[in-house]
Structure 1
């Protein structure tokens, strides 16, 4: 893979901010494994000594890069479901008529914002990191896996508020659909898979709410 041309960061910004900005640009454009520390220091306009002052190594930097996207990409959190032996005995929780429509919140997960760059679609940074660091025990892979588990859990919370008959199952189905669309969008360099995934998601959600799923 051809590396992008280095563009030095302005020195007026803090060194740590410039390093993280450079890492975000390079990891997104060419991947984690293809990005070397020499290139990172060149693009950030810092010395290696400065880089290692702020980050213990590349793994630490990859963690910081991924954590930027945690809250931005996750579905909205919902109130925790009641726990205990009788938690699953009652009917699904109904949506709060005074709050956001949970069905629309589920579908909004598949709405892709217009791209602000002409570059190729890079998909989900957590999926990309998991593929590049395949060892399931590696801290980077574990961070990506934890994010994906939380993603499905939050979808299940919204599904529960929407009245799905099996919210956990629907959450996993929608998470799978979302990840599949992200991978296909990357492969085809197209936003269309997200639109198709949204249509399928609407069918899954409505079937689950009607008790047919």
Structure 2
């Protein structure tokens, strides 16, 4: 094998490793955060898993909080969270609401809501991470309020709060118990709430 060919191959390989650094960092952080939690995951561990140099990691994310924020924003925009079903315009309003109680993704370990998890690990209500998690939870109830209003439900604001409480509680219990389909219990309760609130029902 010629030295020229080896040098060209090495250069190309290094170029491939150098591209998409930010995306690799976020992917590695998502895996590690899900497996062992945010606070238990160190920045050096993320750099090693990406893999990128620490210099590259800190060039993209100056602090751990910056990385966590980017991770949560990436989740919110990817459609991979509990709330994403609520914005599916090709799905009827009732099915969107009940979609909150579908089985969690088939992962090991079973994870709950990433926003609730993040808020628990950043308990200061004024921190950027906790504030962002709160915004996502408030957006969730706004979306559900709009859907139950569209359905003509009575007292839509109160009903929406009840439904999101069921959804978040089911997601948390699914994580604690390691039972991906725990939401089936909350789905039954949600159907009962909706049946009583929908127009022209007893």
TM-score by length of 1: 0.79
1:135 positional shift: 0.7
Alignment of 1:1-213 (within 5 A): 11=17, 13-71=19-77, 72=79, 73=81, 74=83, 75-76=86-87, 100-112=91-103, 115=106, 117=107, 119-210=108-199
* Alignment length (residue pairs): 182
Cα distance in structure 1, aligned partners of 2:180 and 2:200 = 31
Higher helix share: 2
Cα distance in structure 1, aligned partners of 2:182 and 2:103 = 10
CA contact under 8 A between 1:77 and 1:154: conserved in structure 2?
Answer: no
Larger Rg: 2
Unaligned runs of 5+ in 1: 1-9, 79-98
Unaligned runs of 5+ in 2: 1-15
CA contact under 8 A between 2:47 and 2:53: conserved in structure 1?
Answer: yes
What do residues 148-196 of structure 1 show as CA deviations (whole Å, max 9, x unaligned)? 0000110010000111111111111111000100111011100232111
TM-score by length of 2: 0.83
- 1:168 is paired with a residue whose SS is helix
Root mean square deviation of aligned Cα = 2.1
Q: Which runs of 4+ in 1 moved over 3 A?
A: 210-213
Cα distance in structure 2, aligned partners of 1:20 and 1:101 = 33
